[in-house]
Amino acid sequence: MFDWFAQLGKNTIEFYARLGREVLLFIQTLLAIVPLFLRPGLILQQLYSVGVRSMLIIIVSGFFVGMVLGLQGYNTLVDFGAEESLGVIVALSLVRELGPVVTALLFAGRAGSALTAEIGLMKATEQLSGLEMMAVNPVNRILAPRLLAGIISMPLLAALFSAVGIFGGYLVGVDLLGVDEGSYWSQMQEKVDFDQDIVNGVIKSFVFGIVTTWIAVYEGYSCIPTSEGVSRATTRTVVYSALVVLGLDFLLTALMLE
């Protein structure tokens, strides 16, 4: 009985110690972002590997999600004779929810896992240690540029996802199922509100960008430096990112609808 109690206390202390370390490292990394602007080369390099190289999966997925929305939306709306509103349905679903959320999930799978594996392997092969001994702080040189690249890329990728999705919905709805083109676009233009819908979507994708990139970077940096440790950290990145994104999405939506 007493052992159990002691173990609980130990676990609690360890949990908070870990949380504290994580927050301190996060603050340290955020502070290290500021001087990065003097070295745009480092940011560009990471924007390419984190953002540009995630574009293909985002575009393809966005296209299919948009087409599915077009199909499903049409089939429901046509029963009510409201198929002219298809554009609104597609655009709102994408801009408010599916754009930020699905992009974040794909982003965690594509860029997040790559970041964790890269940083974890750098740790396992003593490259991070090597940087420290060359008097180069890995937080400034490795973590900060990657975090910044993720924060910049995510909203852009989410916007791309939504734009391509709206086009996919257009192809299915207008070209295939015969919804009136004018209604598709004009109703969308009228009903989608800039502050309520678009800005809120951008805020979501920005928050998801911080969270998913940070989880990826932190898991890599704090992994056990063995092949098994790196593989576990990579898995954790994807699982934690997915859970946190979905949980936060509910919270943010609740706050935004207030």
Partner 1 sequence: MPEADNNIVRIRDLHFSRGHSKIFNGIDIDIPKGKVTAIMGPSGTGKTTLLKLIGGQLKPQKGTVHFHGENIPAMKTKKLYDVRKKMGMLFQSGALLTDMTVFDNIAFPLREHTELPEVMIRDMVLMKLQAVGLRGARDLNPSQLSGGMARRVALARAIALDPEMILYDEPFTGQDPISMGVLVELIRSMNDALELTSVIVSHDIQETLAIADKIYIISQGKIIGHGSPQEMNESDSPWINQFVHGEADGPVPFHYPSRSYKDDMLAGQIN
**Minimal distance, residue 128 CB to partner 1, in Å:** 9
> In Å, how far from its chain's centre is CA 112?
8
Comparing CB distances to partner 1, the nearer of 24 and 56 is 24
* CB 127, min distance to partner 1, A: 5
Structure tokens at 185: 């676009």
Residue closer to partner 1, measured from CB, 127 or 196: 127
Identity of the residue, 137 or 189, whose beta carbon is nearer to partner 1 in the bound complex = 137
Footprint of partner 1 (CB under 8 A): 125-127, 129-130, 132-137, 141
Query: Given CA atoms 14, 18, 23, 24 in this order, what sign does their dihedral have?
Result: positive
How many Cα atoms occupy the beta-carbon half-sphere of 93 within 13 Å? 19
Minimum gap (Å) between residue 129 Cβ and partner 1: 6
Nearer to partner 1, 7 or 125 (CB): 125
Assigned token pair, 98: 């599916």
Tell me the closest approach of the beta carbon of residue 106 to partner 1, in angstroms: 24
Q: CA separation (Å) from 4 to 7, 11, 15, 17, 42?
A: 5, 11, 16, 20, 49
